[in-house]
Structure 1
Amino acid sequence: MKIMLAPMEGVVDHLMRDMLSRVGGFDQCVTEFVRVVDQKLPKKTFYKICPELHTDGKTASGVPVRVQLLGQHAQWLAENAETAVELGSPGVDLNFGCPAKTVNKSKGGAVLLKETQALYDIVKAVRDAVPQHIPVSAKIRLGFEDKSLAVDNAIAITEAGASELVVHARTKTEGYKPPAYWDWIAKIKQHTDIPLVANGEIWNADDAQKCQEQSDCINLMVGRGALAMPNLARAIKFGDSPMPWPELAALLIQYSGYEIFGDKGRYYPNRIKQWCGYLKRQYPEADILFNDIRRLTNSQDIVDVLARQSSQ
């Protein structure tokens, strides 16, 4: 079984990847997307999105981090894929699943699921541009407004030479609303011979098992579930119990160390409040924490609240 940490723009940045990969259970991470329009981007753009390029394309705990690209022009995506690999990315991931309206309006992300030929052209161009030993993966949803092209899109991506395909088991229109249609991944699997990774609505080990059974897919990608339970990957792989709240509070303090001592203290209050929004799904204590810190704007004040909770 391989468990991947999903890319989530504005949430799973390099700090979060480092934190969650230290907790353990993850085999691979994917970056937030690098937006490609009509130019070859400078190296600094890739280093900003993926600082792990400075450390052999891995987090501090040794988990590989694959750069993700998003765009509509095959040749520009291919040229930027070359840059990502030259800088040390252990693979290239292509985003055909982002549901954001601003991205879709500029023909990026999930809107490309309407254009099967475009998917083929992009994957083929990127596959041809990078060395054969470098994996080229793609992430899709089941469709844009409906699932009518789900199988055709997967076949096109396979025939274009993709190494792996992550399937979020909902359409763009369905967004993140339950349920996830895991059985559709099993349908797709009947038409492709590349490894598939199931994604969507995996919040605990029971969900993971049901997803694997219904999708006929052993490999998983988790995103929001890992933010709601930071040791979710370990719970799935090794049967660990959910991380106790005092231990989790200590983890949030560690996260403050990254932000405060990394000269990003101004971001920490908002990031912790954002994280609480996910944590409260699994931990009632997170609701209490949010109420205690929601008016606080100083990072150290928030750390003091967490310190009290971690010692209880």
Structure 2
Amino acid sequence: MQLALAPMEGLVDDILRDVLTQVGGIDWCVTEFVRVNEQLLPPAVFHRFGPELKHGSRTRAGTPLRVQLLGSNPSCLGDNAALACTLGAPVIDLNFGCPAKTVNKSRGGAVLLKEPELLHAIMREVRRSVPAEIPVTAKMRLGYEDTRLALDCAHALADGGAAQIVVHARTKADGYKPPAHWEWVARISEAIARPVYANGEIWNLHDWRRCRQVSGMQDFMLGRGLVACPDLALQIRADREGRDYAPMRWSELIPLVQDFWTQQRHKLPAVYAPGRIKQWLNWLARNYVEAAELFARVRRETDCVAIDRIVLGLADGIRVRAA
């Protein structure tokens, strides 16, 4: 079983990747999408989205990192994929799932699911442009407005050379509204001779069990569920192996929250850093009442020094368990 951390733009940056992979249970992760238009991007762009490239393309915990590209020009995507490989990317991933309106308006992400022929051309060109030993993978949704072209899109990617495909089990029109249609992941997996990962609406063990049963998949990509429950991957692994497992307590999360805040504080201008800690605490509040209480304390704070006192002044938690 492979468990991957989803590449969520504006949420899972290198710092949150670092913190979540410290908890363990994640086999690989992906950068936020690198948008490719009509030019070869400078290396600094790739390093901004994936600073792990300078450290063997792994997070501090040793979790491998893939580089994700988004765009619609096959030749430009091929050129940029080749550059990313020279910078150390071990895998190139292509984004055909982003539902954001601004992205779709510029012919990126899920809107390309209207054009299976273009998906094939992009995958074929990127596959041709990178070294043979570098896998090229893709993430797709079930379609743009409906699922009529879901199998066509999957075939286009597989025939173009995709080594594996992650399927977010909703259309662009569905957005992130439940339910996720996991039965479609099973249909896609049956239609193509490629490994398929199920993704979407896995918030807890119960969801994972149902997804596994309905989709028939053995590999999964975890997104918002893992952000809200940092040890979800460990819970899944224990359940799969029939082991007892005690979910992480808030006291064990405190050092991670403090590490996350300290890193954001050093990385971002003071005007932006508070928003990142508030964002993650808001997600953690789904599972931890203490996170909701902490969010309430920092919600109106804009001064980093004041947030330092609140977050870094929390009682020391016990050391986070190893994977």
Question: Which range, TM-score by smaller chain?
Answer: over 0.9
Q: Is the 8 A contact 1:12 1:32 kept in 2?
A: yes
- Identical residues among aligned pairs (%): 49
Equivalent residue, structure 2, for 1:254: 259
Amino acid at match of 2:161: G
CA distance in 1, matches of 2:97, 2:107: 12
Q: Which amino acid aligns with 2:194?
A: I
Which runs of 5 or more structure 2 residues have no equivalent in the other structure? Answer: 240-244, 318-323
8 Å CA contact 2:35–2:70 kept in 1: the answer is yes
SS of structure 1 residue aligned to 2:296: helix
Match of 1:144 in 2: 144
Give yes or no for the alignment of 1:290 onto 2:307. Answer: no
Partners of 1:288 and 1:308 in 2: how far apart? 14
Instruction: Please state how far the C-alpha of 1:236 moved relative to its aligned partner.
Output: 1.0
Write out per-residue CA displacement over residues 60-119 of structure 1, whole angstroms, 9 at most, x where no aligned residue: 111110000000010100000000111000110000000000010011000000001000
- Correspondence for 1:299 among 280, 304, 313: 304
The answer for the alignment partner of 1:169 in structure 2 is 169
For residues 2-151 of structure 1, what are the structure 2 equivalents within 5 Å?
2-151=2-151
Secondary structure at 1:140 match in 2:
strand
- TM-score w.r.t. structure 1 length? 0.96
Distance, in Å, in 2 between the alignment partners of 1:194 and 1:119 is 16
The aligned counterpart of 1:217 is 217
Name which of structure 1's ranges 265-274 and 299-308 shifts more when overlaid on structure 2. Answer: 299-308
Conservation of the 8 A alpha-carbon contact between 1:249 and 1:307: no
Give the aligned partner of residue 270 of structure 1.
Answer: 275
What's the offset of the Cα at 1:162? 0.5
Letter in structure 2 aligned against 1:73: N
Question: Structure 1 residues 308 and 56 mapped into 2: Cα distance closer, same or farther (>3 Å)?
Answer: closer
Q: Is the 8 A contact 2:264 2:276 kept in 1?
A: no
CA displacement at 1:306 relative to structure 2:
3.2
Deviations 1:103-145 (A, max 9, x none): 1001100000000100000000001111111110000000000
Q: State the TM-score, normalizing by the size of structure 2.
A: 0.93
**Partners of 2:291 and 2:264 in 1: CA distance:** 20
Which residue number corresponds to residue 185 of structure 1?
Answer: 185
The 2-side partners of 1:261 and 1:270 are apart by 14
Shift of 1:309: 4.6
Q: Confirm or deny: 8 A CA contact 1:5 1:26 kept in the other structure.
A: yes
Deviates more, 1:239-248 or 1:187-196: 239-248
Tell me if structure 2 keeps the 8 A contact 1:245–1:310.
no
150 and 247 in structure 1: CA distance in 2 versus 1, 3 angstrom threshold: same
Aligned-pair distance for 1:265?
A: 4.7
Cα distance in 2, alignment partners of residues 154 and 143 from structure 1: 10
- 1: CA distance, partners of 2:271 / 2:58: 27
Q: Is the 1:113–1:153 contact (alpha carbons within 8 Å) kept by the matching residues of 2?
A: yes
Rate the CA distance shift 1:166–1:302 in 2: closer, same or farther, 3 A: same
Shift of 1:264: 4.7
Q: Distance in 2 between matches of 1:294 and 1:106?
A: 34
Deviation per CA, 1:182-204, whole angstroms, max 9, x where unpaired? 11100111111111011000111
- Partners in 2 of 1:249 and 1:310 — Cα distance? 8
Deviation at 1:259, TM superposition (A): 2.2
**In the aligned structure 1, how far is the partner of 2:71 from the partner of 2:313?**
46
